[in-house]
């Protein structure tokens, strides 16, 4: 799903971007005068919009925002920065990359000492639990949760003779088998790709819909024996072999262009993806709609804001967190960009329940996405979740691109994972 660059290049980037480290122990007092901070984020989510909104009411605060790269590259750069002692004041960490940093909680401010102990009840319990170390230290505050759905092009569905009403579309694919069958039907009628790719829009969705993924509840790796993982992998291979994908890797230039040009008719769309679609395909407003995902629920993504222990301006960073991640602010962010709040107190707010997104044909996005995460049985995310997932996706993409053997893809992925993480 995410591009990779050489670790050496990431290290160089981290050292080039990093500010000077501080000497705070992070236990009792935030550093700095509250007037400036350095902020690392990853690309593709328009973090600048959040910063610009904050500065409307905090014009005296100087924020140096750096979009380091993909979420994987940002996590790698942070690892290098922590080792070198030169860190940003605030960093956005994607959920799959978070566990390894939680295991190194001594490298971060315990946010409960800054006030997180008083606000942790505002967030979904299973989401805040993922950023809480065994010691009780809170490493990060959640910014969003990735409730899942499928975005589809109503104009392309109509041209293919398929229903366009979101309720009727959802009935086409109650299961992933049915989704693939619908894709075959679409391709047969149009000769055009049905979905962007198999790795993220099929595998990454299916594997995120059950109670166990790559780790069991005790933190043991079970990626090679998990029925949930194998089933998701098999669905993706089926989709790749069926010829229903556009073979466009998520977040690539080709993927963005195909989104705008009608190069595929469907895409897995967690709530945060809506803003990506708007940004990449602004002229397609009113041509998209949103339907329930096969399997009806699940979570893809979600991120956390953390303050490295050596931050020189932790006070300003914490002020930013509390202002932008309150229930009211998360609700406003959802209305503006589609990032689903992690604060369940707003799930019954009329601003959320009554929201209809005209870009997506008036779809009731608040209703659709909150249903996809309520009652969800969260799975354990471990320190190597990101690396494991990347190798599975690489194997699927290789088959999709004609570079891999479908018959050996599973075993190939297991071998590469073992090489990558040593177990």
In this structure, what CATH number is given to the domain that contains residue 409? 3.40.190.10
Residues 190 and 61 in one domain: no
Q: Are residues 294 and 307 in the same domain?
A: no
- At residue 27, the pLDDT reads 46
Burial class from Cβ neighbours inside 10 Å (0-12, 13-18, 19+) for residue 133 reads middle
Q: Is residue 1 part of a domain?
A: no
Half-sphere exposure of 377 (CA within 13 A, CB side): 8
121, part of any domain: yes
List the one residue out of 381, 397, 393 whose CA is nearest residue 417. 393
Rounded to two decimals, the pTM is 0.83
* Tally of domains within the chain: 2
Q: Is residue 162 in a domain?
A: yes
Using CB atoms within 10 A of its CB, is residue 106 exposed (0-12), middle (13-18) or buried (19+)?
Answer: exposed
Digits of tens for pLDDT over the chain (423 positions)? 433 333 333 333 333 333 333 333 444 478 999 999 999 999 877 889 899 999 999 999 999 999 999 898 999 999 999 999 899 999 999 999 999 999 999 999 999 999 999 999 999 998 999 999 999 999 999 999 988 999 999 999 999 999 999 999 999 999 999 999 999 999 999 999 999 999 999 999 999 998 889 999 899 999 999 999 999 999 999 999 999 999 999 989 999 999 999 999 999 999 889 988 998 999 999 999 999 999 988 888 789 999 999 999 999 999 999 999 999 999 998 988 878 999 999 999 999 999 999 999 999 999 999 988 876 777 889 999 989 999 999 999 999 999 999 999 999 999 999 999 999
**Residue 16 domain-assigned?**
yes
Distance of CA 136 to the CA centre of its chain: 25
Instruction: Verify that 277 and 385 share a domain, yes or no.
Output: yes
**Residues pairing with 291 in the sheet:** 150
What's the residue count for the chain? 423
Kindly state whether residue 286 falls inside one of the protein's structural domains.
yes
What is the predicted pLDDT for the residue at 252?
A: 92
Last residue of a domain, one of 289, 319, 348: 348
* Last-in-domain residue among 348, 365, 383: 348
Rounded to whole angstroms, how far apart are CA atoms 381 and 142? 15
Tell me how far apart the alpha carbons of residues 231 and 229 are, in angstroms, rounded to a whole number: 5
Contact 215/405 with Cβ under 8 angstroms? no
- If phi > 0 it is left, if psi is from -120 to 50 it is alpha, else beta; for residue 315 that is alpha
* In-domain check, residue 29: yes
- Verify that 385 and 253 share a domain, yes or no: yes
Are 291 and 274 contained in the same domain?
Answer: yes
Task: Quickly count: other Cβ atoms within 10 Å of residue 79's Cβ.
Answer: 19
One domain for residues 218 and 130: no
Look at residue 2 and tell me if it is in a domain.
no
Q: 304, 302, 308: which is closest to 38 by C-alpha?
A: 308
Query: Which of 342-354 are b and which e, b meaning 16 or more Cβ less than 10 Å from the residue's Cβ?
Result: bbbebbebeebee
Same domain, 139 and 30: yes
Give residue 25's pLDDT.
41
Query: Which structure tokens are listed for 334?
Result: 């959802």
Domain termination residue (choose one: 330, 348, 366): 348
Do 176 and 315 share a structural domain? Answer: no
Q: Specify whether 49 is located in the same domain as 196.
A: no
CA atoms within 13 A on the CB side of 184: 11
Cβ atoms of 370 and 347 within 8 Å: the answer is yes
The SS3 of residue 199 is helix
Res 26: pLDDT: 41
Q: Are residues 51 and 13 in the same domain?
A: yes
- Residue 374: predicted pLDDT: 76
Same domain, 368 and 278: yes
What CA–CA distance (Å, rounded) separates 277 from 38? 28
The beta-carbon contacts of 64-68 under 8 Å, at least 24 apart in sequence, are 64/19, 64/36, 64/37, 64/38, 64/39, 65/39, 65/41, 66/17, 66/38, 66/39, 66/40, 66/41, 67/41, 67/42, 67/43, 68/13, 68/14, 68/17, 68/40, 68/41, 68/42, 68/43
pLDDT at res. 8: 36
Q: Are 75 and 97 in contact (CB under 8 A)?
A: yes
User: Is 26 domain-assigned?
Assistant: yes
pLDDT score at 375: 67
Q: Could you list the residue range(s) of the whole structural domain that residue 110 is in?
A: 7-146+301-348
Residues 99, 159 share a domain? no
- Paired tokens of 189: 């009628």
């Amino acid at each position: 799903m995410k591009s990779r660059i050489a670790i050496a290049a990431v290290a160089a980037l981290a050292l080039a971007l990093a500010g000077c480290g501080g000497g705070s122990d992070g236990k009792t007092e935030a550093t700095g005068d509250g007037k400036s901070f350095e902020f690392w984020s990853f690309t593709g989510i328009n973090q600048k919009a959040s910063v610009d909104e904050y500065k409307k009411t905090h014009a005296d605060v100087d924020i140096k925002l750096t979009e380091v790269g993909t979420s994987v590259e940002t996590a790698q750069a942070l690892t290098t920065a922590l080792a070198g002692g030169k860190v940003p004041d605030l960093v956005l960490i994607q959920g799959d990359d978070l566990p390894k940093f939680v295991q190194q909680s001594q490298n971060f401010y315990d946010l409960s000492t800054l006030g997180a102990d008083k606000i942790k009840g505002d967030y979904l319990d299973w989401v805040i639990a993922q950023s809480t170390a065994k010691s009780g230290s809170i490493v990060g505050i959640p910014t969003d949760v990735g409730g899942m759905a499928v975005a589809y092009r109503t104009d392309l569905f109509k041209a293919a003779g398929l229903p366009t009403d979101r309720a009727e579309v959802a009935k086409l694919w109650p299961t992933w088998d049915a989704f693939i069958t619908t894709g075959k039907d679409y391709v047969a009628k149009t000769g055009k790709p049905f979905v962007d790719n198999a790795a993220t829009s099929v595998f990454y969705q299916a594997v995120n819909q059950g109670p166990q993924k790559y780790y069991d509840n005790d933190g043991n790796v079970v990626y090679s024996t998990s029925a949930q993982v194998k089933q998701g992998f098999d669905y993706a291979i089926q989709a790749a072999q069926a010829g229903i994908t556009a073979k466009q890797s998520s977040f690539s230039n080709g993927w963005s262009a195909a989104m705008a040009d009608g190069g595929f008719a469907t895409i897995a769309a967690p709530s945060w993806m809506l803003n990506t679609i708007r940004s990449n395909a602004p002229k397609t407003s009113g041509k998209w709609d949103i339907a329930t995902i096969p399997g009806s629920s699940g979570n893809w993504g979600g991120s956390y804001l953390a303050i490295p222990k050596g931050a020189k301006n932790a006070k300003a960073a914490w002020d930013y967190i509390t202002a932008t991640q309150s229930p009211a602010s998360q609700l406003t962010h959802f209305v503006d960009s589609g990032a689903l709040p992690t604060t369940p107190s707003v799930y019954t707010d009329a601003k959320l329940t009554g929201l209809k997104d005209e870009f997506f044909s008036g779809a009731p996005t608040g209703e659709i996405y909150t249903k996809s995460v309520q009652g969800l049985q969260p799975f354990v995310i471990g320190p190597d979740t990101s690396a494991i997932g990347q190798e599975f996706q690489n194997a699927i993409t290789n088959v999709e691109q004609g570079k891999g053997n479908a018959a050996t893809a599973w075993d190939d992925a297991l071998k590469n994972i073992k090489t990558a993480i040593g177990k």
